[in-house]
Amino acid sequence: MKSRFRHVALFGKYHATTHGSALEISRKVLEEMVHFLERQGVEVVLEHDTATHTGLTHLPTLPRERIGKECDLGLVIGGDGTMLGVGRQMAQYGLPLIGINQGRLGFITDIPIQNYHEVLQPMLQGHYQTEDRRILQAQVVRDGHSVFDALAMNDVVVNRGGTSGMLELRVEVDGHFLANQRADGLIIATPTGSTAYSLSAGGPLMHPVLGGWVMAPIAPHTLSNRPIVLPDSCAISMEVVSGRYASANFDMQSLASLMIGDRINVKRSQHTVRFLHPEGWNYFDTLRKKMHWNEGGY
């Protein structure tokens, strides 16, 4: 059967400092993936930075903005961090993404690299499940002007400097005062991000189709200050009241330094990230495997 996808882009796992055996493994995996896709009758391109850092510049390449406009599927080979970066950049184009796990956890890159051939082939022929995940739009406002703007698939985290004292944030939800939070920081997490930093701060696990955000304090001064789940239709605002060297992190991949009086405004983005999963994929299977539930059970 012919692939239902005409033009597929490959996004690889790389770092500017990657070298030696790790880089060679990434290069071999990508080359093998290109040949596999071409045998399925698919036109394949490598994302430009992936090709540059892995030395595969002899293969067809496109920059990310052209991939979003010209391709109809993206294959992300790496870990969840790789998928977070690609997901944010491709969200505005609606490009569906399939994750091939070459990392460790793999909550959102759910196809093992070892058997991608047998899993991908039916997916390319149209046998897959579609899942849209909501993401956050965040903005840092200083003196009434936006100084930083970012999307986040996992979370927006406001935290104190490494050597400074406690951070105080005035938190509002839809313009209504919620509380002055005194803590090491505050996490606003999506359902996707509920298995990330928010989880280690005591936040709940949320099914990815739920329409809500988790607000979880980091090491709060008041022990009654607990995580809360808010509807994703609300707008959240955090104003820095006190605390030196504070910063706002977006998926822990981009960062903005904060000053007293800065406001971090968070709301639902108009875009979503579309994942394609193999037929029969189930979120609870992923949780059970990645969280090591029932190990040793029957």
pLDDT of 183 over the 90 cut? yes
At residue 38, the pLDDT reads: 94
Residues 6+ apart with CB under 8 A from 221: 166, 182, 183
Q: Residue 104 above 80 pLDDT?
A: no
For 8-64, write each residue's pLDDT tens digit: 999 998 664 455 566 777 888 999 999 999 999 999 999 999 999 889 989 999 999
136-270: CATH class: mainly beta
Active site residues: 80
**Tokens, residue 107:** 């909550």
In angstroms, the Cα distances linking 135 to 10, 98, 153, 189, 225 are 22, 17, 5, 9, 25
What number does CATH give the domain 7-126?
3.40.50.10330
CB-based contact 207:223 (threshold 8 Å): no
What pLDDT is attached to residue 292?
A: 87
Residue-level length of the chain: 298
Look at strands 263-278 and 128-142 and give their pairing: antiparallel
Note the pLDDT tens digit of each residue in 224-244: 999 999 999 999 999 999 998
Structure tokens at 286: 């992923």
What is the average pLDDT score of the chain? 92
**Res. 137: pLDDT tops 80:** yes
Least confident window among 60-74, 121-135, 162-176, 265-279: 162-176
Domain boundaries, the chain: 7-126, 136-270
